Structure 1
């Protein structure tokens, strides 16, 4: 997703990208080592995982999902939502598929969720409603995840998926719904406008490829495309960083190191701490935005292991306390 941080023409970069997707659909992934067969060949332990496509029923026709289960007892359950700027991404991208396979291979059952994209005039709250429907389905079908109660059911997402799941958590709190055991956010954007970048982030962005540099204009335009109106920018059910965070469950944030979106993750962690919420924030060294979509990289493999440890928690495995402190 190319971005220079400023508009170069009357048509914004975000608008060009949206138009291309509406006309031509997503570009095929040129990589030859991230499909399912390649992943299982490289990581044989993933071959034991059952991955079953489902459709979560909704008033609008259904949301695609995929259930991942390993043989034996489930230590926890996780509803996971991929990113893609609200306009791209699917259940087959490594950020969705490989992450789910990895977690399931360590005893964490996963419901990976898709959602309608903000294309062809579709706006908020449609994608948010899809994620809500998936979460409610999981809470009502715990046995499909190998769980007896919702006490071990967690929620999370990456990038735009993190925005959707954080906002859903705010909505569940306001609606007195079933809250997740914890919220796990990978390189999240939970604010409608990009917060100011620290000097450290600015320095880290030096040399980053232009298609991974998301400046304030791009962020505003892509969020406006999702929201439909700037009036929605202050709605915490769309952007959790704009609302009251009291009552949130424990939150774990994994930021990419060289990523402008770090500013949102870091601000959100500070907001959570101020609200008295248990939060842990970590930065993955050597990573750029979307690093979980690169399963053979060291940062991605380190991050999924961080996710595993968080979701297992010390309640069963004695890993020690993992909430209550901010760490960078």
Structure 2
């Protein structure tokens, strides 16, 4: 069996790498996966990346985890100090991690790298016992945003598309959408450090896309033409100000006749895939495994 290993690639004018988690007993499916981190931080070692790779590959799905080029740190001060409970890093650890990253770049660099990583996965799928038509694409938080934007690029390019798009607690619109009454009540009891506010989200988004110009929706797919996207698994955290974006995007998909399966992880806050053993994380890992494993793909 091939061991976990890194592969150097280039996209958007920058070098980057992918980490391959070969399936122990391949079932023919492959997932290209992207961690989150407000476009500014995150690593292949964080549970949101590594846990997904290790758990799904143990269940037959080869995972390609993408170490995409991160955006500059200009918006870091706009974020609330991260919670130190449930295994989340301290502010000092987060800053050290962010400053240790390599060269940085804004949109569209990471977006173009995701397309390159997807193309590499399709071209090399057979090496890992996967079918080129059964390559899924997905991510968490900012990684979910990047996945959806790349899926729109691939749709517009008109060649092979992902067999499935998996979006976990995504931010898909260029703003915090207003919560409904139910979500607003729930957010009152969430620690402030675990909530994105309109101000912090705006700082993050303008750090990633300074001028806000996004005619095709490749940076923020919400509110754009989503017709022709592949089937979507949407997993939202119940206690998350970004849930309004995920639910609105799911409605946009349904109106565009895109198959979408929406799951709300009850009692879960944003970022729960970084909490090893968290019940919502366990349920989401099972959902991802099942969805990626059972999708046939357009060419399978």
If the length of structure 1 is used for normalisation, what is the TM-score?
0.77
Offset of 1:122 from its aligned partner?
Answer: 2.3
How many residues align structurally? 267
Residues 14 and 69 of structure 2 are in contact (CA less than 8 Å); yes or no, is this contact kept in structure 1?
A: no
Summarize the alignment of residues 196-235 of structure 1 with structure 2, pairs less than 5 Å apart.
196-232=178-214, 234-235=215-216
Could you say what secondary structure the match of 2:291 adopts?
helix
**Which residue in the other structure is 2:171 paired with?**
189
Match of 1:153 among 120, 124, 135: 135
| Deviations, residues 218-261 of structure 1 (Å, cap 9, x unaligned) | 111101110121223x4411111132111111001000110000
Which residue number corresponds to residue 255 of structure 1? 236
Deviation at 1:143, TM superposition (A): 2.4
Kept in 1, the 8 Å contact 2:34–2:138? The answer is yes
Alpha-carbon distance between aligned partners in 1 of 2:181 and 2:210, rounded to the nearest angstrom: 32
Deviation (angstroms), 1:215 = 1.1
Distance 2:18 2:68 in 1: 9
Is 2:161 the counterpart of 1:179? yes
For 2:109 and 2:295, locate their aligned partners in 1 and report how far apart those are by CA, in whole Å: 36
Q: How far 1:315 sits from its partner (Å)? A: 5.7
Aligned counterparts of 1:108 and 1:260: Cα–Cα separation in 2: 31
Residue aligning to 1:144: 127
Larger Rg: 1
1:254-277 CA deviation, whole Å, 9 max, x = no partner?
001100000000000000000000
- Report the Cα offset of residue 57 of structure 1: 3.2
Q: Which has the higher contact order (CA 8 A, sep 6+)?
A: 2
- Structure 2 residue 225 is matched with structure 1 residue 239: no
Change (3 A) 1:180 1:207: same
Find the counterpart in structure 2 of residue 56 from structure 1: 9
Q: CA deviation at 1:55?
A: 1.3
Deviation at 1:202, TM superposition (A): 1.0
Query: Aligned partners of 2:35, 2:12: CA distance in 1, in Å?
Result: 22
User: Offset at 1:72?
Assistant: 2.9
Partner in structure 2 of residue 117 of structure 1: 70
Q: Given that residues 74 and 145 in structure 1 are in contact (C-alpha distance below 8 angstroms), is that contact kept between their aligned partners in structure 2?
A: no
Report the CA distance between 1:70 and its aligned residue.
2.8
Question: Distance between the aligned counterparts of 2:128 and 2:206, measured in 1?
Answer: 35
CA distance in 1, matches of 2:14, 2:152: 25
Residues 150/315 of structure 1: CA separation in 2 closer, same or farther (3 Å cut): closer
Distance 2:171 2:205 in 1: 10
Gaps of 5+ in 1: 1-47, 317-328
Would you say the 8 A contact 1:224–1:230 is kept in 2? yes
Cα 1:245–1:315 change in 2 (3 A) is closer
1:83 lines up with 2:64 in the alignment: no
2:85 maps to what in 1?
none
Q: TM-score, normalised by structure 2?
A: 0.84
Counterpart among 100, 106, 112 of residue 59 in structure 2: 106
The runs of at least 4 consecutive aligned structure 1 residues that moved more than 6 Å come to none
**Which residue is equivalent to 2:262?**
281
Q: Distance in 2 between matches of 1:131 and 1:221?
A: 23
Counterpart CA distance in 2 for 1:108 and 1:95 is: 16
3-state SS of the aligned residue for 1:75?
coil
| Distance in 2 separating the partners of 1:250 and 1:264 | 18
Where does residue 96 of structure 2 map in the other structure? none
Secondary structure at 1:95's aligned position in 2? helix
1:30-60: CA deviations, max 9, x gaps? Answer: xxxxxxxxxxxxxxxxxx9831122123363
1:133 aligns with 2:86: no
Unaligned runs of at least 5 residues, structure 2: 74-103
